[in-house]
Every structure is written in structure tokens, then in C-alpha cells.
Structure 1
Amino acid sequence: MFLHIGGNTVIPTRDIIGIFSYSSNENKITGEFLNANEEKGTTLKIDDSNNKSFIVTENQIYYSPIAANTLKKRAKLGFNSSEFKKLDI
């Protein structure tokens, strides 16, 4: 399954490590993690002006204009219960 995360961007749900609210970047460790990935060039902003969430995959971090809870609900629809437990969403 694929998850639509905004704009014209979809990602395979099997690649998702976590979906987080953008406001969690106010946490010092999370902010450092995001900044380090921006410096490495492994981030993609779907909409520069309206980040509501970020999605972490093994190779990329996506900033999305869609709320984390909405993305989690969409992702949940694409998993059977055993796969969903693995992601801890």
C-alpha cells in the first residue's frame, strides 16, 4: 500500500518508520535530528509554508501539510493488524 502525504507525493507504507506532529520538533533532540537530516539533504518538504507533520523513513524525512493524526488514520487503513503493531502507530 501507499500513503498520500500531500501534494503529488505518495510513499510505500512499508517504508514508514514513524509519523510525527511537526510541533514535536520543538523538543531539543527531535530538532537536532531534523536539522542534521536537513544538512545531509535527506529531507523533502511537500509544502514549504505549511508543515503539520513529518514522516520518517529509512532514507528520507518528508515534511507534510497533512496533520499527523490524519496520516496515521490513512496508514492504518492500509495495514492488517499484525503489520500495524510493528509500526507502533
Structure 2
Amino acid sequence: MYIHLGGDKIIRSSELVAIFDITIEKSSKISKQYVTHAMENKTVEVIDEEESKSIVVTKDIVYYSPISSSTLKKRANVFFANA
């Protein structure tokens, strides 16, 4: 199954590690360090030019998505409920 992250970006649900609200970047020192490390390694992708609302972590890439984390979690749960 696949999860649409916004724009034209779709990922395999098997690659999904975590979905976070964008506010975690400011409230958690560890998550900020993780994203900074990913940026240094050029494994961050910003989807669309709209304001990012969530951070999606996969096995290889960290995505900044314009779709809210609650909507993305619902999309992911549909997959896991049917698996």
C-alpha cells in the first residue's frame, strides 16, 4: 500500500517509520538534532511550497509535508487496519 504525503509525493507504507506534527521540531531537542543531521546528509525533502505541517520519517528520507499529521496518521492507519 501507499501513503500520499502531499504534492506528487507518495511513499510505500512499509517505508514509514514515524509521523510527527511540525511543532515537535521546536519542542524537542532530540528531534531538532535528528532533522539537522538529516539535512547535513541531504536526506530531507520539502514537499510542495505550502507551509509544512508535519514531518514524516522513512527509512531513508525525512519529508516535510503540507498535510497535517492527524490526516497522515489516518491514512497510515487505514493501511495497517487492512494489513
Whether TM-score is above 0.5 comes out as: yes
List aligned pairs for 1:6-85, cutoff 5 A: 6-26=6-26, 27-80=28-81
Q: Percent identity?
A: 35
Q: In structure 2, how many angstroms separate the alpha carbons of the residues matched to 1:12 and 1:32?
A: 26
CA distance in 2, matches of 1:17, 1:24: 16
In the alignment, structure 1 segments of 5+ residues that lack a partner are 84-89
After the TM superposition, which parts of structure 1 deviate over 4 Å for at least 4 consecutive aligned residues? none
Alignment length, in residue pairs?
82
> Normalization by structure 1: what TM-score?
0.85
CA distance in 2, matches of 1:61, 1:28: 17
Give TM-score scaled by structure 2 length.
0.91
Counterpart Cα distance in 2 of 1:59 and 1:34? 12
Aligned to 1:86: none
